[in-house]
């Protein structure tokens, strides 16, 4: 990739960019501003100290955990901050595992003084995929341990904050909150040449001050280009899988797929055109499953539920 192919500013949604803007001591103010925008009305971050992002298990057989960013606030609160563009199975299991590992280590420290009191722990994730393909509008998830009957918060110290970028489609003229501005910036920084008026200059001036690609050292530029190459390879792989899957669906799955799809369409009240499109998606799903593509990825690309993919997989096995 040539430098001319890159935008003026470092892409936040790259491994290099995420750690550059949020993981460096000299840019720590960006992370503090981001967290305070996210936690507005709930908590105020005064200062942060970066912690080791790698954590070994208690036993040799336990796998090592590597966080994107791990920080401790001035009052002892813990922040695990992740950027995850690639969909993966069991994302919530991973989030719970990360926070559980942190809680376990903190509890052991408290045990020495017969005190199990824990500091607040926040798991923050910016996601490049939809958590729920049936909900294409919800872009901010905030979860705590709550009573399921009256929604009373039982334990306020454990929080999960998830930002879903694909569901955020606001224009630059509709950014009433600082968090909206952060999400817009993450999606559109590559289209911006200077700090615009619709972004709060007090919050975002540092991003535009340090984020110019031309200000990186030659070694940093090479690292950044490698990071962007990996990101684009992933995006291109998804696009290719989607195209190939649909072509295969049209070529090989038309008759069988249309029959199955129409039956499903009648069952769920679909029109003939909808049933045909559904059938082609099922045929595409079979091809993508055969290529080893993860179910969550297929679900996102083809907008099929996981249960529909399971039925597709079962029908494929029955024919073997």
Tell me the average pLDDT across 247-268. Answer: 54
pLDDT above 60: residue 124: yes
Burial code of 126-143, b = ≥16 C-beta within 10 A, e = fewer? bbbbbbebeeeeebeeee
In a domain, 284, yes or no: yes
Residues 195 and 63 in one domain: yes
pLDDT value for 42 = 92
| Burial of 8 per CB tally in 10 Å (0-12, 13-18, 19+) | middle
Residues 237 and 208 in one domain: no
Most confident segment among 89-93, 244-248, 272-276 = 89-93
* Chosen domain end from 175, 192, 216: 216
pLDDT value for 22 = 96
Residues 248 and 199 in one domain: no
pLDDT value for 3 = 54
- What tokens were used for 10? 């470092």
Banded pLDDT at 209 (limits 50, 70, 90): very high
Residues 149 and 257 in one domain: no
Q: Taking a C-beta distance cutoff of 8 angstroms, is the pair 275, 257 a contact? A: no
Residues 164 and 260 in one domain: no
pLDDT value for 32 = 97
Residues 178 and 284 in one domain: no
Residues 202 and 252 in one domain: no
Per-residue DSSP letter, 148? T
Compute CA 6 distance to the chain's CA centroid, rounded to the nearest angstrom. 23
Residues 201 and 53 in one domain: yes
* Chosen domain end from 166, 190, 216: 216
Residues 128 and 252 in one domain: no
pLDDT above 60: residue 254: no
Q: Taking a C-beta distance cutoff of 8 angstroms, is the pair 198, 180 a contact? A: no
Most confident segment among 42-56, 100-114, 165-179, 267-281 = 165-179
Find the domain containing 145 and state its range: 3-216
Banded pLDDT at 81 (limits 50, 70, 90): very high
3-state secondary structure of 143: strand
Tell which wins on pLDDT, 266 or 160: 160
Mutual angle of helices 201-210 and 15-22, in 10-degree steps: 120
pLDDT above 90: residue 110: no
In a domain, 223, yes or no: no
Per-residue DSSP letter, 161? E
pLDDT above 90: residue 252: no
Give the whole-angstrom CA distance, residue 238 versus residue 134. Answer: 20
* Chosen domain end from 154, 189, 216: 216
pLDDT, tens only, 1-27: 555 568 899 999 999 999 999 999 999
Give the whole-angstrom CA distance, residue 129 versus residue 300. Answer: 8
With a CB cutoff of 8 Å and minimum separation 6, the contacts of 77 are 43, 45, 119, 120, 121, 122
Mutual angle of helices 178-188 and 28-38, in 10-degree steps: 120
In a domain, 222, yes or no: no
3-state secondary structure of 130: coil
Give the whole-angstrom CA distance, residue 117 versus residue 110. Answer: 7
- Round the average pLDDT of the chain to a whole number and report it: 83
pLDDT, tens only, 135-157: 889 999 999 999 999 999 999 99
Q: Taking a C-beta distance cutoff of 8 angstroms, is the pair 68, 77 a contact? A: no
pLDDT value for 318 = 44
Q: What's the domain count of the chain?
A: 2
């Amino acid at each position: 990739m040539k430098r001319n192919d890159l935008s003026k500013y470092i892409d936040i949604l790259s491994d290099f960019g995420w750690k550059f803007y949020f993981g460096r001591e000299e840019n720590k103010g960006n992370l503090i501003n981001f967290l305070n925008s996210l936690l507005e009305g709930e908590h105020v971050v005064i200062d942060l100290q970066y912690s080791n992002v790698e954590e070994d298990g208690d036993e040799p057989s336990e796998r090592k955990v590597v966080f994107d960013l791990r920080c401790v606030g001035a009052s002892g609160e813990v922040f695990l901050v992740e950027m995850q563009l690639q969909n993966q199975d069991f994302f919530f299991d991973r989030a719970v595992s990360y926070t559980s590992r942190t809680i376990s280590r903190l509890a052991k420290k408290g045990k020495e003084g017969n005190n199990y009191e824990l500091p607040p722990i926040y798991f923050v994730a910016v996601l490049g995929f939809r958590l729920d393909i049936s909900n294409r509008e919800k872009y901010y998830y905030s979860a705590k341990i709550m009573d399921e009957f009256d929604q009373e918060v039982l334990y306020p110290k454990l929080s999960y904050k998830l930002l879903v970028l694909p569901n955020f489609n606001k224009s630059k003229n509709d950014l009433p909150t600082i968090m909206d501005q952060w999400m817009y910036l993450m999606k559109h920084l590559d289209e911006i040449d200077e700090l615009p008026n619709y972004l709060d200059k007090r919050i975002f001036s540092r991003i535009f001050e340090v984020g110019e690609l031309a200000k990186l050292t030659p070694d940093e530029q090479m690292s950044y280009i490698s990071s962007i190459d990996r990101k684009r390879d992933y995006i291109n792989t998804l696009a290719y899988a989607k195209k190939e899957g649909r072509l295969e669906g049209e070529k090989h799955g038309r008759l069988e797929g249309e029959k199955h799809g129409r039956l499903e369409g009648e069952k769920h009240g679909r029109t003939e055109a909808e049933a045909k499109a559904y059938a082609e998606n099922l045929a595409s799903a079979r091809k993508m499953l055969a290529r080893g593509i993860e179910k969550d990825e297929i679900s996102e690309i083809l907008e099929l539920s996981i249960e529909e993919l399971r039925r597709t997989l079962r029908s494929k096995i029955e024919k073997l």
